[in-house]
Amino acid sequence: MNCESKRKFYNLGTCRALKGSVYALVIYLDDDVSSWSHTEITYGCAPKLKLGLEFLSRKAGEWNTYLKFRVGNYYTDFSEGTHVRYSGCVESDIVSNPHSADILQQAARSVGFSSIDEFHKYIKKFSGEEQVMYFIVLNKEGRSYAMSDMINDGRDYVEYCVLFAKDGDEKYDFMSFTAAHETLHLFGAEDYYDPYHKFPKRRLLASRLYPDDIMLCCFENINSSTVGAFTAYSVGWTDRMPKECDTPEWWE
């Protein structure tokens, strides 16, 4: 078996292996029903997002992999003369309602760029990093997700996460967990909790093999989560696919 063929979403776009230096640009986006203040970002969301990225850096170290995030941001109160805004209402669930699929395009235009391609080229040049990812963060409840858009006339992909910063269950370290979980998606990791009811056997096997894996479940404290062997393989922290996942229960 060619183990590399099992990495379905690895090495597809601008987010390659999750190692080395990665530039993460955070866009705190307003829309018709939600907005951000400087205080909410500085003392609320930004520290939680930072915890999620620090978690990933620590876990990479446990796999003898160096990983460091550099973080930049745009938001209305910070970006002088710029209203970082989506024209309309960003849908809370893009799976059931895809009308917000233009979110990265609108975010790019709101900060002065004519296209995603132009925006991405500028951010890569500004950051000096080959690996650039984006967080688009809304100050409301919704279902967070990871996406990609084609650039360079379809020759490449730019990859980003849309994060909804509010959650009904405040006891969970929700924002930190979500930032880390969705970042892993960008670099090739897949869900184990079977959200689309396609891999019920994988969910059961993962519950036995990797019960604390961040791609399976959420804990009150993100530091209770782990990054198991298959997740580490999926994002390039190891080139060895775990033998226990070379089974029909995992793939069918």
Strand partners, 125: none
DSSP bridge pairs for 160: 134, 147
Three-class secondary structure of residue 50 per DSSP: helix
pLDDT at 132: 93
Give me the DSSP letters along 118-168.
HHHHHHHHHHT-S-EEEEEEEEEE---EEEEEEETTTTEEEEEEEEEEE-S
Which residue, among 247, 248, 250, 235, has the nearest Cα to 60 in the 3D structure? 235
Express each pLDDT in 117-176 by its tens digit: 999 999 999 999 989 999 999 999 999 999 888 777 767 788 899 999 987 666 557 889
CATH, domain range 18-187: 3.40.390
Instruction: State whether residue 6 is helix, strand or coil.
Output: helix
pLDDT at res. 2? 39
On whether the CB atoms of residues 120 and 151 are closer than 8 A, the answer is yes
pTM above 0.85, yes or no: yes
Domain boundaries, the chain: 18-187, 190-252
φ/ψ of residue 196, rounded to 5: -110, 10
Q: What is the distance between the alpha carbons of residues 11 and 231, in angstroms, rounded to a whole number? A: 14
Tokens of 61: 């170290």
Q: What angle do CA 76, 144, 67 make, to 5 degrees?
A: 85
Spacing of C-alpha 203 from chain mean position? 21
Q: Would you call 200 helix, strand, or coil by DSSP?
A: helix
| 98-104: long-range contacts, CB 8 A cutoff, minimum separation 24 | 100/162, 103/29, 103/136, 103/162, 104/134, 104/136, 104/147, 104/149, 104/158, 104/160
- Residues 218, 220, 224: CA angle, nearest 5 degrees: 75
Give me the pLDDT at residue 162, please: 94
Q: Which residues of the chain fall below pLDDT 50?
A: 1-5
